[in-house]
Amino acid sequence: MPQYKALVTRTLLPEALDIIREAADVTVWPEEAPPSAEELRRLAADADGILTTIMDRVDATLLDAAPNLRVISQLAVGLDNVDVGEATRRGIPVGYTPGVLAKSTADLAFALLLGAARRTSESERWVRGGGWEIQFHPMHWLGQDVHEACLGIVGLGQIGREIARRARGFDMDIIYHSRTRYPDAEAEYGVRYVEFEELLAQADFVILSVPLTPQTHHLISAPQLAMMKPSGILINVSRGPVVDPAALYEALRDGQIARATLDVTAPEPIDPNDPLLTLDNLVITPHIGSAALPTRLNTMKLAARNLVAGLQGERMEACANTDAMG
């Protein structure tokens, strides 16, 4: 008989749940929408381990309500919804899922870059709206070239590097700014380090791939948007609050930058009445960076293995607070 109780806050693919069931009695939150904070506290009351998603707030209040908790396993790379410091103080290891989703997220970032450059969503809406009345007009739908354009990557971590790898295939001039400078990666990925302001001023495309932290909150606001080229395109695949939405609205409305594509918004989901949704030069996808089936399965399996390792007091494959691991 499994000796542990595990709470899984969202339905997972069966292959991942099976991994947890080998070691624990599993309660799976069955609804589409996440449990409320109160519901989560109630469900976690007797849990030894909990597998969370980015929508579950894991803070001191939840941890107080879950006295048996010996592991938190987050189904994501970003941990901005988890108070990792508080978990560490309580000796609870926090698992996460680096390594398995960077390529898919970089694929999506590149899809968004190409789509924004060549205006695919915007022109497709126009076709569906009955706008295509002249077969071909040499002045219609002029976008930007991707090949040989300058790409600025903000945050040269796992996703940023995979984006760079893709950009090289398009002969892009790749510059980056990141908290740490990585000379080895500069050679390997063909990227050049520049200061943040220089990146904003030089890049034709600015991609954000930083974590959400107090330092990156509203990293892109009015002054930074003003530094970008009028033809510049902003792509955010990190977390919504890294961009100030009011400033972005004004910059796009006033043509201060050409276009933007957001895979993440603040808040999520975006309010259907948000003024950003009135703009033709903005495309929003619903946080689908890593939503490719094989990648999602691998991510779920990694989160499941992290959970089981934590339950059994073993080392996790990916732990955000190794000092809390036994």
| Catalytic residue flag (residue 268) | yes
Residues in binding contact with ligand NAP, number by CB under 6 A: 30
Residue owning tokens 């915007």: 122
| Catalytic residue flag (residue 317) | no
Using CB under 6 A as the binding rule, whether residue 241 contacts ligand NAP is answered as no
Applying the rule CB under 6 A, the residues between 48 and 77 that interact with ligand NAP are 77
The correct pick among 221, 287, 292, 317 for binding ligand NAP (CB under 6 A) is 287
Minimum distance from residue 55 beta carbon to ligand NAP (Å)? 13
Q: Which residue, 178 or 321, has its beta carbon nearer to ligand NAP?
A: 178
Using CB under 6 A as the binding rule, whether residue 115 contacts ligand NAP is answered as no
Q: Which residue, 74 or 256, has its beta carbon nearer to ligand NAP?
A: 74
Q: Which stretch binds ligand NAP (CB under 6 A): 14-22, 234-242, 248-256, 298-306?
A: 234-242
Residues sharing a CB contact under 8 Å with residue 264, sequence separation 6 or more, in sequence order: 236, 237, 238, 239, 240, 242, 287, 289
Minimum distance from residue 10 beta carbon to ligand NAP (Å)? 15
Using CB under 6 A as the binding rule, whether residue 125 contacts ligand NAP is answered as no
Applying the rule CB under 6 A, the residues between 147 and 186 that interact with ligand NAP are 155-160, 178-180
Using CB under 6 A as the binding rule, whether residue 204 contacts ligand NAP is answered as no
Residue owning tokens 């001039």: 173
| Catalytic residue flag (residue 239) | yes
Q: What are phi and psi of 146, to 5 degrees?
A: -95, -45
Applying the rule CB under 6 A, the residues between 261 and 280 that interact with ligand NAP are 263-264
Q: Which residue, 210 or 247, has its beta carbon nearer to ligand NAP?
A: 210
Minimum distance from residue 265 beta carbon to ligand NAP (Å)? 11
Question: Residue 200, class by beta-carbon neighbours within 10 Å (0-12 exposed, 13-18 middle, 19+ buried)?
Answer: buried
Q: Which of 41, 57, 253, 287 is catalytic?
A: 287
Q: Which residue, 69 or 164, has its beta carbon nearer to ligand NAP?
A: 164
R_g (Cα) of the chain, nearest Å:
22
Q: Which stretch binds ligand NAP (CB under 6 A): 28-36, 98-106, 124-132, 294-302?
A: 98-106
> Where does this chain bind ligand NAP (CB under 6 A)?
77-78, 98, 101-102, 105, 155-160, 178-180, 209-213, 215-216, 237-239, 263-264, 287, 289-290
The residues assigned a catalytic role are 239, 268, 287
